[in-house]
Amino acid sequence: MAIVKEQTQVESATVRNKKAKPNPNAVVIYLRVSTDEQGKSGLGLDAQLESCQRLCEMRGLSIVGVYSEIVSGKIDPRERPIFMQALTTAQANGASVLVSKQDRFSREVFHVSGYVNNYFFGSQTPPLIAADSPKASPMEIYLKAMVSEQERQAISQRTKDALAQLKKQGKQLGLAGRQAHSTQAQDKTASALERAQELRKGGLSLEATAKALTSEGFVTSRGTAWSKQSLSKRLAAA
């Protein structure tokens, strides 16, 4: 089933505004990443789709649409063109909206609350299901969003406090940040190359090894998926 990736690729739903009886066995899958780089590489989208498909297979759910969007989780769902297409399809088929994780729908409590409490779309709001917690009730979804937001705020405040303390100690924050990022990128690359060498010893081709690295979550120092060419260069230099 083709995944809708951009607004220009989306055809108007022929069943727009058509009401349908709820069908608990039908779902519309919604996938989301935040950056163009992630979208172009497919990194994250494939894993999300696999997670959703796995749940559908386990529960015998019918997939009536798959939609993919590159947009920040802070953007109101009502302002996301692809999500609105997914919503229309779900409403027309009496289906639920299925995401791999709740934060793929939104990272904001206001958005989650507005959706699950039917403030945004009224009584025609399709149920929201997260593949990692499919039995969660609307209240549990809302509470999970509140906890996540509080955790993000706490992390942000701790980071600000730590940076302020370092600044008081005369640390060069910009340089320290760049060095930390560089070290982290080097560590990730080293781990990926170590895994690649194991796969190569197992008889996999360069292309198959690159695909395996991507599927296992390994990325290059730039955060992109491994390709046959990039892997070949790095293994030759190792």
What confidence score (pLDDT) does residue 10 get? 37
What confidence score (pLDDT) does residue 4 get? 52
What confidence score (pLDDT) does residue 178 get? 56
What confidence score (pLDDT) does residue 146 get? 82
What confidence score (pLDDT) does residue 200 get? 83
Residue 94's region, left for phi above 0, alpha for psi from -120 to 50, else beta, is: left
Query: DSSP class of residue 117?
Result: T
What confidence score (pLDDT) does residue 179 get? 59
Nearest residue to 82 (alpha-carbon basis) of 16, 15, 11, 7: 7
Q: Which fold has domain 7-145?
A: Rossmann fold (3.40.50)
The residues of the chain scoring below 50 in pLDDT are 1-2, 5-17
Q: Which residues contact 168 (CB under 8 A, 6 or more apart)?
A: none
Q: Is the pTM of this model over 0.95?
A: no
Burial (CB count <10 Å: 0-12, 13-18, 19+), residue 89 = buried
Per residue in 188-205, is it b (16+ CB within 10 Å) or e — as a string? ebeebbeebeebeeeeee
Return phi, psi of residue 30, to 5°.
Answer: -120, 120
What confidence score (pLDDT) does residue 176 get? 53
pLDDT, tens digit (0-9, with 9 covering 90-100), for 143-178: 888 887 777 677 778 777 777 777 777 665 555 555
Q: Which residues contact 120 (CB under 8 A, 6 or more apart)?
A: 77, 78, 114
What confidence score (pLDDT) does residue 3 get? 55
What confidence score (pLDDT) does residue 50 get? 94
Domain ranges of the chain: 7-145, 174-237
What confidence score (pLDDT) does residue 14 get? 37
What confidence score (pLDDT) does residue 12 get? 37
What confidence score (pLDDT) does residue 41 get? 55
